[in-house]
Amino acid sequence: MSEENCNHECDSCGAENCSSRGKIEKLKTHDLTTFKKIIAIISGKGGVGKSLVTALLAVGLVNQGHKVAILDADVTGPSMPEAFGLNGYQAVGDENGIYPGKTKNGLEVISANNLLDNPTAPLVWRGPMISQLVGQLYSQVVFGEMEFLLIDMPPGTGDVPLTVFQQIPIDGVVVVSSPQDLVSLVVEKSINMAKMMDVKVLGLVENMSYVLCPKCGEHIKVFGDKNAVEVAKKFEVALLDELPLDPALAKLVDEGKIESYKGPYLANAIKAIEKM
């Protein structure tokens, strides 16, 4: 492969003297798009509520007066459009680029689901194609002038997280966990990956941390109460917030009305992002 056509996949390349070997160029945003800070919400395992945390962070930042966009990088399991009532929005484009969906409060959202005629149609793609799509959503979507871009990452440490960390200028990550021992173990992998890629870890959010008793208000630790504290201490990161199992939140997401949430959840994580 000639250097001018380099795809930076050095392991499969025979050009031993290529000056680009080992170098991966950062993706650029669209000419009409700017972000002051880019935050990735990550987890080593699926099903821990990473998308819920992303949505609540976005809503909280918007309620504080910030201009926020969400890039749903979980291509094979997107949930952002549904949470914000945009599942029926089909992204349109022109000679300038692709336009994201907008909520009533001005939050901008783009997802693979917004590119499909049928949002229930599966994208049965291999990793490189999915990674390429995520890069296109970042570089070809016209978000405008925004303060924060939140990237809802797929679980694990595979192709897409690697692409995002290597090619998008991430300013920090929020790690999402839940109290089970197995989840805590794989969350350590995400924290280690972020540190390997020299990305700042803003802190840890533990989802499903407790159930709030509707009668007395007691915090009931269904899965125990030691894991998040131990993981945060081990890796010297802040335990930002503990998010409960809350049926009201689940209902808002199912109804596409998460933007109507005005409560105190994730206040510390929101402050950590604002302080950046």
pLDDT in tens, 89-128: 888 888 889 999 999 999 999 999 898 877 777 778 888 8
Q: Which residues sit opposite 81 in a β-bridge?
A: none
* DSSP output for 135-169: HHHHHHB---EEEEEEEEPPSSSSHHHHHHHHHS-
Model confidence at 252: pLDDT above 70: yes
Give the model's pLDDT for residue 274: 97
Maximum separation of any 2 CA atoms in the chain, in Å = 70
Six token digits for residue 19: 């000056």
State the CB neighbour count (10 A cutoff) for residue 118.
8
Domain boundaries, the chain: 27-274
pLDDT in tens, 18-65: 544 455 788 999 999 999 999 999 988 788 889 999 999 999 999 999
Give the model's pLDDT for residue 222: 81
pLDDT confidence tier of residue 156, bands split at 50, 70 and 90 = confident
Question: Cα–Cα distance between 274 and 276 in angstroms, integer?
Answer: 5
Residue with token string 């080593």: 44
pLDDT in tens, 206-236: 998 888 888 887 888 887 766 677 778 888 8
Q: In CATH, which of 3.40.190.10, 3.40.50.300, 3.30.43.10, 3.20.20.80 is domain 27-274?
A: 3.40.50.300
Number of H helices, E strands in the chain: 8, 12
Indicate the pTM of the whole model. Answer: 0.87
pLDDT confidence tier of residue 5, bands split at 50, 70 and 90 = low
